[in-house]
Amino acid sequence: MGELETGADIGTVLSVTDVSVVRDGRTLLDSVSLTVRAGEHWALLGANGAGKSTLLRLLGASAHPTRGAVELLGHRIGRVDLRELRALVGHVDPRHPLRSPLRVRDVVLTGLTGSVEPVPRRSASAEQLAHADELLGLLGVAGLAEARWPQLSQGERGRVLIARALLPRPRLLLLDEPATGLDVPGREQLLEGLDALRSADPGLATVLVTHHLEELPEGTSHALLLRGGRSMARGPVERVLTSERVSACFDHPVVLTRTEGRWQVRARRRAPVAAG
């Protein structure tokens, strides 16, 4: 199964070229390439240990590749301060380590400083406060602005963290298994919020990591399949997310279907063994 291309350049946000990552003699990524353009919404798929988290750290300018090049909006990792690049990327991690009972609006405002807790003697402008409330409304949690963080459900926290990541107005949003731990209503509310975000900001590019295709929003436009640190296929979802390719990626025979923009996966039935 070869690589698939994504078409003409319409404004490159992220470029990954022949990237490899080797740690303690172990190859975590092997010659992976990826181009993400403005307005594209990528799914990064693979089984546990496929290299998804390692690649996401490179995309978020949190690590250097061993070989190859990563460029974010024309800035190459290794040639500029990583802190400058991180300001261009919104990163949503459902394992956000906040422990204190901050109000939801204050949690969103920490996106301005990239910190877990508010930075002393830093206050938000009226415009930033209004933008925080606008994002909470877009993601369907405007009524929680004054609620305390420990009071939120896991699904509500996920949507608040997306608002937090978007507050600095990044051009790339990274979502690391955002539906982890959610029940069905929480997952569906999260995905509705992501689709609303796609409509509200058509130029924003996103990369969502998961190993459950049911967790992909309707607006997912492209996919990259990883297996054993190598890219099996990349390109538009219509060409990449097929039963054959997904079965090979996860090393298990499955049937993949799509209804009203959402994917479903079930195991392929094995032919019955004829009686002797």
pLDDT digits (tens, 9 = 90+) for 246-259: 999 999 999 999 99
At 6-60, the pLDDT tens digits run 333 448 999 999 999 999 989 999 999 999 999 999 999 999 889 998 999 898 8
pTM here?
0.87
- Which of 3.40.50.1100, 3.40.50.300, 3.40.50.2020, 3.30.470.20 would CATH assign to domain 1-88+170-267? 3.40.50.300
pLDDT of residue 40: 95
> φ and ψ at 263, to 5 degrees?
-100, 145
Mean pLDDT across the chain: 88
| pLDDT surpasses 90 at 120 | no
Interval 197-206 mean pLDDT = 89
Residue spans per domain, the chain: 1-88+170-267, 98-168
Comparing 125-129, 157-161, 186-190, 246-250, the range with the smallest average pLDDT is: 186-190
Interval 140-154 mean pLDDT = 93
pLDDT of residue 199: 86
